[in-house]
Structure 1
């Protein structure tokens, strides 16, 4: 069981890295365009989360939660990601405004803090099998 979860976590992490890259490219471009950093973080979040959902659905959790529609999984994924986005924004704002840490570095730290919570929410909620037993 643990080996299976670790394999999924590694795949989730690989997808997450692609999401971080997408997020940081969009975020950096928007910052360069003098868009407010919180607005830039919001826009980059929505683009990155859609990227991550697609890859997690077709690769990481392929064939999981087939009893749920694509639309239901996407909105559940978006909700879980949204909760973790709030964690990300709180960390980002704290680091930028209270500790004067660089906005780009602060965004990376915020993403890192939310990543494990994001995996757990997706594993236990979004891509949960209908009769999945976690005690195996």
Structure 2
């Protein structure tokens, strides 16, 4: 891992771990290997997508795709957290007009349940 992107990533990660330490959550570093493993899989998926679908002439568009992909990844992480909470803790209290997440829905099921306005159903993740 070398270059400007790697250095930027190291600095950002260091700021994050320093911040967690300052607010009393320094033990988060015990999970960094788990996060790194998940991120390695995501990086491989990113490269697979680029190799399959992006021509050299379209690399600028792939940068835009990376930005949109980061937003999608963040959304999928939130949905995954809801799904994992449902698996681990069971149903959580929901507003009367919203259904609780179902552990068997998976991430794609949660995305597909988005309402007509384009918003995912309101869920309360348990941490």
Select the structure of larger CA radius of gyration. Answer: 2
More helix by share: 1
